[in-house]
Amino acid sequence: MQNILDRFISYITVDTQSDPNNPAFPSTEKQWVLARLLEQELQEIGLSDVMLDNNCYLTATLPSNVMHKVPTIGFVAHIDTSPDFSGKNVNPQIHYNYNGGDIVLNKELNILLDATYFDDIQQYKGQTIITTDGTTLLGADDKAGVTEIVTAMEYLIQHPEIEHGEIRICFTPDEEVGKGAHKFDVAAFGAEWAYTLDGSQIGELEYENFNAASAVVTVQGKNVHPGYAKNKMVNAILLAQDFIKGLPADEIPEKTTDYQGFYHLHDIHGDVEKTTLEYIVRDHDLEKFEDRKKCMESLVSSLNQNYKETVFSIEIKDQYFNMKEKIAPVMHIVDIAAEAMKKENIKPLIKAIRGGTDGSQLSYMGLPCPNIFAGGHNFHGKYEYVPLESMKRATKVIVNIAEITANKYKQV
């Protein structure tokens, strides 16, 4: 437990925020700092083939310790943190023997982790909870996953009596800005399948995710002096509201759950002359996903007809697709993960991800890659936390997957 705690804190105190507005790869130089620290650590614990490539992908190998043939499997996590909230100067708070009530994150700023509002935390009563100090995110997304993979590899090296085949690991940059798998070399990685450690609550096991697209709506106005604006000014800010109101009001993140898709307006900026709306579009069902994109395009066309000129324009870009299509033919890899959890007395919570992971893109690149819990909650904000015990048990799940896979192929 102390080893996991110390390792996790050493990672989260390194600022690795990615930048969605920088086309460079990785999008921030500071991601290299943690990558190089990890490179050295992987060498020190005894992994082979440790390589940090020119794109900030760090890979390593744990060689097989059995004589029979076992498929090479992989474990993947990302080193960057969300650009949505500060990851600089993370000051973790350790709350031992959590009593089940509210947690004061920052007394001076009156910031409270309300156990009624964030009621998931109550299931961890009696455990050690790691939180922020209320001024930054924590970085459990996904440095908890990184911690668990490194610790599991170290444990397997220290316990050679546990049989396993060859294991490959990879730590990726820029997952939070949707580029985590863009330069991943699946062929060089050489695994038959892999698992991302990037889920939330203990027990999560996911092989379905959203189909995803980004949409940028541009509204073109005409700016003239307001004193002479009669029948001349076209206020793009006001017209933008017509587009916002034209989409289904209840199909937004805060009003949807489970398999329900949404339109999410996450940024709006501009002035009278030009206003831009930035959306993400999500749906698990591919047909409904395509319908959502068509709905936005149709709304743009309809509004332009109303104004009798091209005031609105839209650019839609697909981001990733539901990995279920690629996982379904190889469901035994999900079954192995479920068995690994049950061996640790964890009930698998098999559900669809309301988001995406590197695994969704990797699955379409030829590396089937379900997602496993890393233990954190309330990602991307100051209320983020992770129970230390969840990290320990995720570490054991990795070890169990390695052992179960080796034993299954021993019987073939």
Q: What would the pLDDT profile of 10-43 be if each residue is shown by its tens digit?
A: 999 999 999 999 999 999 999 999 999 999 999 9
The reported pLDDT for the residue numbered 411 is 64
Does 175 qualify as catalytic in the annotation? yes
Final residue in a domain of this structure, among 284, 299, 320 = 320
Mean pLDDT within 183-196: 97
Final residue in a domain of this structure, among 320, 341, 361 = 320
The reported pLDDT for the residue numbered 356 is 72
Same domain, 35 and 116: yes
| Pairing outcome for strands 103-106 and 312-320 | unpaired
Give the CB-side neighbour count of residue 254, counting CA atoms within 13 A: 3
Please tell me what DSSP assigns to residue 203.
T
Separation in Å, CA 281 to CA 186, 218, 239: 27, 16, 21
Domain holding 127, by residue range, is 2-209+322-410
Same domain, 58 and 81: yes
Of 15, 19, 80, 148, the active-site residue reads 80
For 129-152, letters b (16+ CB in 10 Å) and e give: bbbbbbbbbbbbbbbbbbbbbbbb
Q: What is the pLDDT of residues 330-346, one digit of tens each?
A: 999 999 999 999 999 99
Contact 338, 205 (CB under 8 A): yes
Same domain, 190 and 265: no
The reported pLDDT for the residue numbered 307 is 87
- Which residues are 95's β-sheet partners? 129
Of 175, 198, 208, 251, the active-site residue reads 175
Q: pTM, whole model, 2 decimals?
A: 0.87
Q: Which two tokens stand for residue 164?
A: 């396993």
Contact 195, 72 (CB under 8 A): no
Final residue in a domain of this structure, among 281, 296, 320 = 320
Same domain, 93 and 123: yes
Contact 130, 371 (CB under 8 A): no
Q: DSSP H helical segments within 212-320, as ranges? A: 236-246, 286-307
Q: Is the pLDDT of residue 412 over 60?
A: no
Q: What is the pLDDT of residues 126-143, one digit of tens each?
A: 999 999 999 999 999 999
The reported pLDDT for the residue numbered 305 is 94
Distance separating alpha carbons of residues 47 and 202, to the nearest angstrom: 27
Contact 163, 66 (CB under 8 A): yes
Same domain, 141 and 36: yes
Same domain, 175 and 246: no
Distance separating alpha carbons of residues 278 and 372, to the nearest angstrom: 30
Does 251 qualify as catalytic in the annotation? no
Same domain, 218 and 185: no
Q: What is the pLDDT of residues 285-306, one digit of tens each?
A: 999 999 999 999 999 999 999 9
Same domain, 36 and 137: yes
- Between 17 and 412, the higher pLDDT residue: 17
